[in-house]
Amino acid sequence: MAGTLTATERPEAPPRRRAGRRRGGRNLGAALLWLGPALLLIAGVVIYPAVELVKAALSTYSITGLRLGDAGLRNFTRVLSHPDLATVLVNTVLWVVVVVALTILVSLAVAQLLAKDFFGRKVVRWAIIVPWAASLVITAKTFTMIYDYYYGTLNLVLTTLHLTSQPIDFLGNDSWVMPSMMLVGVFVSVPFTAYVFVAGLNAIPQDVYEAARVDGAKPWQVYWRITLPLLRPALLVASVLNIIYVFNSFPIIYTLNDRNPGFGHDTTITFMYKLAFKSAEKDVGMSAAAGVFNVVLILLVVLVYLRTVKWQEEER
C-alpha cells in the first residue's frame, strides 16, 4: 500500500533507547571514576567526623572516655547552662571582631606598600609571608617567650627604655592576656590577607587612576572612591576567610593561655577542648555538644557569605 513503511524501513526505537541508557551508564561511570577520590576524601574528612561528632554529643561517656549510653539532648542543655558560657561567648566575639578588623586595616596598608615598585620589594614580600608559613604552635611559643614576665624580650626592652618601671605580666594579668593574644592573632593573619589585597590591587585597571588624576582627584579621594570600591570582592573574601580562620584559631589561644585556670580568657574553640580534657567536667559528650554549636556558627558565617555573593551577582 502506498504511503506505508515496510518492517525493514521502520525505525527501531527500542535499540536506540537501550543505546542511550548504555551511554548514560558509561558517562555516570566515568564521572564517578573522576570524582571518586574527591568524594571519598569528603566522606572521610567531612561527613564521617560530622556524624561521629553528633553521635558523641548525644552520648554519655565515662571519665576515661568509654561510652556509657545515650544522653539525648542533655549534653546540649548542660553546655547552654554552663556558668562560664557567657564569658566564653563575649571573649569569642571580641577575639574575632578585633582581630579581623585590625587585620583588615593593617593588611590594607601593607598591601599598598607591597603593590609599589621599590628596591628590595621581593625581600620584603618574602619576609612578610614567613609568619603565615610558619606553624602556629611555633609562633605562639615564640611569643610566649617574648611575653615572659622574667626573661621576656618585650619586658626587657620596655624596662631598658624606661617605658615601664617594672615588668608586665602579659600572659598572667587579666587586663593584658586578651590584648596580647589579639596581637599574635593579627600578626599571623596579616600576611595572607595582605596578599589577597595585593592581588585585588593588581587587578584594578591603571586607566581608572589616570582618569581620576586628570579630573583633579586628590589621593584620598582616589583611594576612597576608586580603590576601596574596586577592592570590595577582595575585602569580602578576606573578611569571611579571616572570620573562619580566627574563630578556629586554637593553637594561639591555647598556647598563650595555657597557664591560666578556668575559662576567663577562652573562646568557644578552647572551651570545647577544656570541657573534655582540662576542666572539672572532663566530659567528652559536653565537649562534642559544644563542637556542634561551633560548627553551626561557622555554617552561619558561610551562609551569610554565600547570600552576600549572590546579592552582589544579582546587583550586577
Task: Classify residue 245: in a domain, yes or no.
Answer: yes
Task: Look up residue 1 and give its three cell numbers.
Answer: 500500500
Task: Give the contacts of 121 (CB within 8 A, at least 6 positions apart).
Answer: 114
Mean pLDDT over all residues of the chain? Answer: 84
Q: Is residue 33 part of a domain?
A: no
Q: Which position has the grid cell 578552647? A: 270
For residue 293, the model assigns a pLDDT of 92
Say if 99 falls within a structural domain.
yes
| Percentage of the chain lying above the pLDDT 70 cut | 89
C-alpha to C-alpha distance for 77 and 84, rounded to whole angstroms:
14
The gap between the terminal CA atoms of the chain, to the nearest Å, is 63
For residues 147 and 23, which has the higher predicted lDDT (pLDDT)? 147
Q: 3-class SS at 5?
A: coil
pLDDT value of position 21: 55
Kindly report the pTM of this predicted structure: 0.81
The position carrying cell 609599589 is: 116
Q: What is the pLDDT of residue 252?
A: 92
Virtual torsion, Cα 247, 249, 255, 257, nearest 10 deg: -10
- 119 versus 274: the higher-pLDDT residue is 274
Our count of domains for the chain comes to 1
- Which pLDDT score is estimated for 302? 80
Domain membership flag for residue 312: no
Q: Which residues 6+ apart lie within 8 Å of 288 measured at CB?
A: 53, 54, 56, 57, 59, 75
Whether 149 is in a domain gets the answer yes
Which of 249, 282, 283 lies closest to 268, judged by CA? 249
Alpha carbon of residue 160 to chain centroid: 38
- 241 inside domain: yes
The pLDDT, as a whole number, for residue 1 is 45
Amino acid at 283: D
- For the segment 178-203, the average pLDDT, to the nearest whole number, is 92
User: Which cell numbers in the block locate residue 166?
Assistant: 617594672
Residue type, 113: L
Q: For position 122, which CATH number holds?
A: 1.10.3720.10
pLDDT at res. 143: 94
Per the CB < 8 A criterion, the answer to whether 193 and 254 are in contact is no
Task: Convert the pLDDT of each residue in 88-106 to its tens digit.
Answer: 999 999 999 999 999 999 9
Pure H helices in 203-315:
206-214, 219-222, 228-230, 232-247, 250-257, 268-277, 284-315
Lowest mean pLDDT among 66-70, 150-154, 159-163, 164-168: 66-70
Residue 209 · residue 222 · CB < 8 Å: yes
The arithmetic mean of pLDDT across residues 257-266, rounded, is: 86
How many whole angstroms separate alpha carbon 289 and alpha carbon 266? 17
> What percent of the chain is predicted at pLDDT more than 90?
32
| Per-residue pLDDT reduced to its tens digit, 216-253 | 778 778 888 888 888 888 898 898 889 989 998 899 99
Cα distance between residue 47 and residue 19, in whole Å: 36
- Asked if residues 227 and 151 have their Cβ atoms less than 8 Å apart, the reply is no
Determine, yes or no, domain membership for 191.
yes
| Inside any domain, residue 48 | no
- Please give the pLDDT value at position 140: 92
Looking at per-residue pLDDT, the higher value among 68 and 270 belongs to 270
209 dihedral zone (left: phi>0; alpha: psi -120 to 50; beta): alpha
Give me the domain span that covers residue 271: 82-282
- Specify whether the CB–CB gap between 243 and 96 falls below 8 A: yes
What are φ and ψ of residue 278, in 5° steps? Answer: -130, 0
3-class secondary-structure state, position 59: strand
